[in-house]
A and B are shown apart, each in its own frame.
Chain A
């Protein structure tokens, strides 16, 4: 049975194979591509800073940050101020936050039989857009991070404005999402205790429990996360055992005959990426507890993603304290890009997980560019003997509607995947 899954920033076709009333195999197909990697070839390297945010309307900022870091890795001895690093990290945090609000209120709620809460999605995500715009001029589609730093200079008044947007967003969280002081939510280490909280998130978690969905969506319990910064750690987690010594050299992309999306594996194994993966690698107590009690199910996946809103707001608040406005925003690279022939790569944590960019430059022009998006990791289409992460999560379910819920719990992004 073929089902067109809609409103995932595009569509995907899922071909379900049933055996004795249960899903036995799911073939995932993306029907198009936009060939961004080809578009980039032969262009000036810096133009990638303008083109790549246009990979995706909802996580384009992650593509900007990945691009600038990949280009910077092509230089030897490039200087970057701490201030520029912090600003980039802040704006990327804000993008993650706006994404998670939209996903929860627009994508998840209807799958649980509720009406979309459009205003609850747009109000806080607009605040985060404003926060990015203070630095980047606009959101979406700014190119404000350039090789050597950021183009903006910010003032104390900008910081005050920024803090207002963050306080207002936090207030929204505390009045709607999880109705308690954020400290209580962030210090809670018992996933079961969360069910006693009030708010839109606990409501959904209670519904999962009440409707016996706790077992749904389990996959390999195998996670990976490459983009490290002042909050996220790099590493992989296998049945809660975490190792940090992993290399991007073991990440492989491979063509799939039936789909425009390429498969991604690490040492020939499929891994889950995204907020749940990040929390497992970071050993966040609340999420680790959820994973222990309910596995890598939709419960843990939903909780991890929404929890990241509060975590990143809290962390961003701390990051701002480290900003030294007297530092340079931008330090001009000592070598002109037109003289540069080199290659490099980057890995950043986008809303949906690890995003990798690889670039090859010849005399300042792009010779080759490769993008590996988070959704490719989660949706890699394996075989019956070796399922992809989301494929495995859908096996054994008895109906397509639940499978759609499980599928969308990965926060699938079709446009990214069909870059």
Chain B
């Protein structure tokens, strides 16, 4: 019998969104043939949570979902203690989702010093420094199942993944969410009259879309294999980033009519110049309905 890689899926301060996003993985049979969970929040496992916290069960990957605080307990044991115990024996640690990586929404849940494993939003955390070499982050609220599962396969196959400054695999996070959005042309040519409920228009100008400055593959690896938020017409909320959740998410913050946050690497002056030129295009096809009569 071939050896399965053993995973401990540990939830800290979480909503289980990553758990359910993972269940969307279409090739589950194959996955469960290659990996086994010594504990998972939903899938049956050989051990109970009580076993996990009271004993030391052999495993290869520690997977953490949810924000982390010493004060937060699972089965009467602090999640920090559980992480410390298992981080010593595993080959790799994967922080799954934005809470486990940066603190995310539940950073504000009121527990003492709540943060991600290695980052408190953008700031490197002082804890767990010795684990930095072991950790890969797959942020997102929730993570995309393919990003998670293929990262786990990369670990299994001992592929050396290139990581960004937040320990995220570049394979998935070198892109911006803007890449592949079906509304791209409205952005390129600065057609800034988006209304909700339409196929047309770009949400960057008025409705808070963060896709041009958010790292992720949402428009490259589609959600549920069929769509993405921005394609559907919902602004990208920047959920893979340390700043998630920002405030006033459905509004674009502007200074003197210029969006405060510009596409990654784009300077304000250049943006203004280019926007002026792009606006001159006046492309008829983009001014009217996509499916016109």
Which residues in A have some Cβ–Cβ distance to B below 8 Å? 4, 6-7, 9-11, 31-36, 38-39, 43-44, 46-47, 49-51, 54-58, 60, 84, 102, 106, 110, 115-116, 118-119, 121-122, 125-126, 129-130, 132-144, 146, 148-153, 155, 161, 328-330, 332, 415
B49 x A54 contact (CB < 8 A): no
Contact between chains at A137 and B23 (CB < 8 Å): no
Docked Cα-Cα span, A134 to B229, in Å, equals: 10
CB of B15 within 8 A of CB of A56, answer yes
B226 touches A161 (CB 8 A): yes
User: How far is B234's CA from A144's CA once the two chains are assembled, in angstroms?
Assistant: 6
| Contact residues of B: prevailing secondary structure | loop
The contact of B234 among A39, A122, A151, by CB within 8 Å, is A151
Contact of B223 among A38, A44, A84, A139 (CB under 8 A): A139
| Interface size class of chain B, counting residues whose CB lies under 8 Å from the partner chain | 35 or more
**B223 and A138 form a contact (CB under 8 A):** yes
CB distance from B101 to the nearest CB of A (A): 15
With a CB–CB cut-off of 8 A, which chain B residues contact A36? 109
Asked, given contacts A116-B43, A143-B234, whether A60 binds B250 with beta carbons under 8 Å apart, the answer is no
User: Cβ of A106: which chain B residues have Cβ within 8 Å of it?
Assistant: 42-44
Closest to A56 in B: B15
B28→A118 contact, CB < 8 A: yes
B110 CB within 8 Å of chain A: yes
Bound complex: CA A115 to CA B46 (Å): 12
Per a CB cutoff under 8 Å, which of A35, A136, A152 touches B110?
A35
| Binding stretch for chain A, among B70-78, B123-131, B156-164 | B70-78
- B196 interfacial contact with A, CB 8 Å: yes
Cβ contacts under 8 Å, A110 to chain B: 44
Q: Which residue on A lies nearest to B44, using beta carbons?
A: A116
13 sample A-B contacts, Cβ–Cβ < 8 Å, listed by A number: A11-B49, A39-B108, A49-B249, A57-B16, A115-B44, A116-B43, A139-B24, A139-B224, A141-B142, A141-B239, A146-B250, A151-B233, A153-B199
- Interface pair B16/A415, CB less than 8 Å apart: yes
> C-beta contact mask, B230-258 vs A, less than 8 Å → 1, else 0?
11111001010000010111110000000
Contact B42 A137 (CB under 8 A): no
When distances are taken between beta carbons in the complex, the residues of chain A under 8 Å from B226 are 130, 133-134, 161
Among B189-238, those with CB < 8 Å from A are 195-199, 218, 223-234, 237
Which one of B197, B239, B249 lies within 8 Å of A149 (CB-CB)?
B197
A102 touches B23 (CB 8 A): yes
Q: Give 7 nearest A-B pairs by CB, closest first.
A: A330-B197, A329-B197, A137-B232, A138-B223, A57-B16, A137-B229, A57-B17
A140 contacts B234, C-beta separation under 8 Å = no
Q: Which residue of A lies closest to B32 (CB)?
A: A118
Q: A51-B245, A130-B224, A133-B223 are in contact. Are A10 and B42 (CB under 8 A)?
A: no
Contact A102 B24 (CB under 8 A): no
Q: How far is the CB of A30 from chain B (nearest CB, A)?
A: 12
Query: B1-26 vs A: 1/0 string, CB under 8 Å?
Result: 00000000001011111111101111
Q: Are A10 and B16 in contact (CB under 8 A)?
A: yes
- Take A54-B15, A136-B232, A332-B195 as given contacts and tell me if A35 and B248 are in contact as well, using a CB distance cutoff of 8 Å: no
Q: How far is the CA of A290 from the CA of B195 in the complex (A)?
A: 50
Task: Give the contacts of B57-88 with A (CB-CB under 8 A).
Answer: 72-76
